[in-house]
A and B are shown apart, each in its own frame.
Chain A
Amino acid sequence: MASHDANDQSSLAAWQDPTAKPYVRIAGVSRHFGEVHALNDVSLDIYQGEFFSLLGGSGCGKSTLLRLLAGLDTPTKGRIWIDGVDVTDIPAYRRPVNMMFQSYALFPHMSVEANVEFGLRQEKMPKAERGERVSEMLDLLHIGDLRKRRPDQLSGGQRQRVALARSLAKHPKLLLLDEPLGALDKKLRTHTQFELVKLQERIGITFVTVTHDQEEAMTMSSRIAVMDAGQIIQVDTPGAIYEYPNSRMVASFIGSVNLFEGKVFGREDNDILIAGDDYLVMRLRCLQPLSLGTPVTVAVRPEKMRLCPECQGPGDNRVTGRVEDIAYLGNVSIFHVRVSPSQVVTMTLANMQPRTEQMLTWDQEVTMTWSPVCGVVLTE
């Protein structure tokens, strides 16, 4: 989000400030189901006001972690603090945390109003105040006219709003969202993503969401934790995760990427030289000290690739191949270029001219180029 980036530049973000106290602290948490290790020694700090996403494929442990935060499950090992309080042994019904369930879990025998009011009743809030809060929540999510309806009389999008209103009604310290947009169709999803972020900025509650959709995570989050096989692989801002993935797993999970294998064979100032297959020599910006002969992987995003005659700077890398496939997506075209019998490189080009005038065709020989700062050197 633009606003997040602005924050990053003007002042230090909470996670960059060494004196900031984490709002949620997950310390060495494991959860084993018999032989299955759903979570393995996970540690994570989340700061107040963040929109934090747990991103990963199915079975990576992201939902388990969310359930541990909600108190619907207890960790096999490790502790969890929320706002300075150790909540590890506090049951769900006494935690200052609310969750929006993936299936929404709306009570089918209650009206929208009663669903939203449910949590407030448990708090023994006085009736007048309850009514006020319910109205406030329904207005916040623009569902005031659905008050008397029952969940099965609502559309998917309306149910999502009711579920959100219900989980926000108690003004929780932390709102957990399990695949909040998973059940919506694509168009509604995109619209709701922005709305959710605006809502979060307005009410200032810390959000932790679980998603398998990297685009969704990129759009909404202040920070993302990429998870795999019960562990957190990388935690960073969407931009940093995309531009500087720390592993092959993260690089290929977020967006698409071209990976070149190679070995370090030299260094020039801030760049290292890497020898790839087929006499390919690559030059990449890398401040990390790497000894000669270290096997590395170079990750280059398809949109960072350019066609050769254009904008070729000094020291740019180049690779030659034959166009195998062209996918025309309207705004961009995706080219699959075979550079060696075993490797196909993907290149995305913006369609700046009408398609009929484009020069690239099938079987054409092309040379692609990318600058040393546009690739990432991965050692894992």
Chain B
Amino acid sequence: MTQTAAGEGEVGFPAPIHGDRRLRRWLGSRWQPGRWVNIGLPYFWLLLFFFLPFVIVFQISLAEPQIAQPPYTALTEWVDEAVLQVRLNLGNYALVVEDELYRAAFLNSLWVGLVSTLGCLLIGYPMAYAIATAPERWRVPLLMMIILPFWTSFLIRVYAWIGILKGNGLLNNFLLALGLIDEPLTILHTQTAVYIGVVYSYLPFMVLPLYANLSRLDMTLLEAAADLGCRPWRAFLRVTLPLSLPGILAGSLLVFIPVVGEFVIPDLLGGPDSLMVGRMLWTEFFSNKDWPLASALALVLLALLVVPFVALQRWQSRLEEER
């Protein structure tokens, strides 16, 4: 009896706690300078290191080259010290879009990006799956092995591939010694060498997001599929694969986007026929000193990459919504 009475007493006065919380919430929404710093810093960062450079490059792309310092004309000019004249040159964009060479370079870059992404996916998916399903104590060492190459400079690793792929390199000597081939294969300075180098270099970017996705996969779902009559391979196709789609997308974007603009690997491993936008850019900037044309190339490349990226992002968020 006494217990019931005490219980009622507590229920009777909840107001002070409630009011206090409301006050704090009111204060909280207005009085947090830390919050503005929190939100503002990344925006400031983006403004300074992404938006401003973008504006500068965009401005250069509308100028004309000249032999001077800087090597492009100014967009604005004072005529008679009274009229501000603005001159915009769209010729660079017209050239990039119309010229066969540039168009071929863009198409080739996109193609190399596509093939390399598929290559990374085909090799990276089984790796990520194996790591995600490995016993707990093996996972960290296996992940370390994926990350370990990052400890060596990217350039050195690409140079190492020259040593492996060249005429009397490691690979050819090995195959000759085994008697599998009679004369050295020409791999270096071909498109194949570019693919090998790109897939090798970008594999971790595919494996890591896929691993993050697959390690969260609920294995009882596969058991449920088996229980309902699904052979392991079909269970993979109907359960694992669709559920790992976000990981596949993330990995593919992380590989595709930088590969399309890749310059170092085609330059070092590719032959004269490895026509890629990255190399074109380099040539225009440093050999031809045509900064405006190079800037236009860079911006067209950016547009080409941003469009599919945004489309994928939309599609993914729609998928999420549907769930």
Given known contacts A93-B230, A122-B229, A122-B230, A108 and B243 CB-to-CB distance under 8 angstroms: yes
The answer to the question of B20 belonging to the interface, with a C-beta cut-off of 8 Å to chain A, is no
Segment with Cβ contacts to A, from B103-111, B215-223, B310-318:
B215-223
How many A residues have CB within 8 A of the partner chain?
26
CB neighbours (8 Å) of B232 from chain A are 93
The answer to whether B227 touches A92, judged by C-beta atoms less than 8 angstroms apart, is yes
The answer to whether B234 touches A92, judged by C-beta atoms less than 8 angstroms apart, is no
The answer to whether B218 touches A105, judged by C-beta atoms less than 8 angstroms apart, is yes
The answer to the question of A103 belonging to the interface, with a C-beta cut-off of 8 Å to chain B, is yes
Cα A118 to Cα B235 in complex, Å, equals 11
Q: Of B218, B229, B231, which one neighbours A119 at CB under 8 angstroms?
A: B229
Q: Of A103, A123, A152, which one neighbours B229 at CB under 8 angstroms?
A: A123
CB neighbours (8 Å) of A263 from chain B are none
The answer to whether B226 touches A72, judged by C-beta atoms less than 8 angstroms apart, is yes
Cα A103 to Cα B220 in complex, Å, equals 8
Q: Which A residues between 156 and 192 are near B, CB-CB below 8 angstroms?
A: 166-167, 170
Cα A238 to Cα B234 in complex, Å, equals 42
Interface of B: prevailing SS: helix
Of all chain B residues, which has the CB nearest A163?
B224
The answer to whether B229 touches A93, judged by C-beta atoms less than 8 angstroms apart, is yes
Contact code string B207-246 (vs A, CB < 8 Å = 1, else 0): 0000000000010110111111111101000110011000
The answer to whether A150 touches B322, judged by C-beta atoms less than 8 angstroms apart, is yes
Given known contacts A93-B231, A109-B242, A119-B228, A101 and B323 CB-to-CB distance under 8 angstroms: no
The answer to whether B227 touches A70, judged by C-beta atoms less than 8 angstroms apart, is yes
The answer to whether A166 touches B228, judged by C-beta atoms less than 8 angstroms apart, is yes
CB neighbours (8 Å) of A105 from chain B are 218, 220-221, 223-224
Of all chain A residues, which has the CB nearest B242?
A109
CB neighbours (8 Å) of B224 from chain A are 99, 101, 105-107
The answer to the question of A293 belonging to the interface, with a C-beta cut-off of 8 Å to chain B, is no
Cα A118 to Cα B227 in complex, Å, equals 11
CB neighbours (8 Å) of B322 from chain A are 150
Given known contacts A109-B242, A109-B243, A103 and B228 CB-to-CB distance under 8 angstroms: no
Contact code string A79-109 (vs B, CB < 8 Å = 1, else 0): 0000000000001111001110101011111
Cα A105 to Cα B224 in complex, Å, equals 6
CB neighbours (8 Å) of A170 from chain B are 228-229
CB neighbours (8 Å) of B227 from chain A are 70-72, 92-93, 97-99, 167
Given known contacts A122-B234, A150-B323, A91 and B226 CB-to-CB distance under 8 angstroms: yes
**A90 smallest CB distance to B (angstroms):** 12
Q: Of B220, B228, B323, which one neighbours A152 at CB under 8 angstroms?
A: B323
CB neighbours (8 Å) of B225 from chain A are 107, 118
CB neighbours (8 Å) of B228 from chain A are 93, 98, 118-119, 122, 166-167, 170
The answer to whether B223 touches A101, judged by C-beta atoms less than 8 angstroms apart, is yes
Contact code string A98-142 (vs B, CB < 8 Å = 1, else 0): 110101011111000000001100110000000000000000000
Cα A103 to Cα B222 in complex, Å, equals 13
Cα A109 to Cα B234 in complex, Å, equals 16
The answer to whether B229 touches A108, judged by C-beta atoms less than 8 angstroms apart, is no
Which among B224, B231, B242 has the greatest number of chain A C-beta atoms within 10 A? B224
CB neighbours (8 Å) of B229 from chain A are 93-94, 119, 122-123, 170
Cα A101 to Cα B226 in complex, Å, equals 12
CB neighbours (8 Å) of A98 from chain B are 227-228
**A97 smallest CB distance to B (angstroms):** 8
Q: List 16 A-B contacts (CB under 8 A).
A: A71-B227, A72-B226, A93-B226, A93-B231, A97-B227, A98-B228, A99-B227, A101-B220, A105-B224, A106-B224, A108-B243, A109-B323, A118-B225, A118-B238, A122-B230, A150-B323
Q: Which residues of A contact B (CB under 8 A)?
A: 70-72, 91-94, 97-99, 101, 103, 105-109, 118-119, 122-123, 150, 152, 166-167, 170
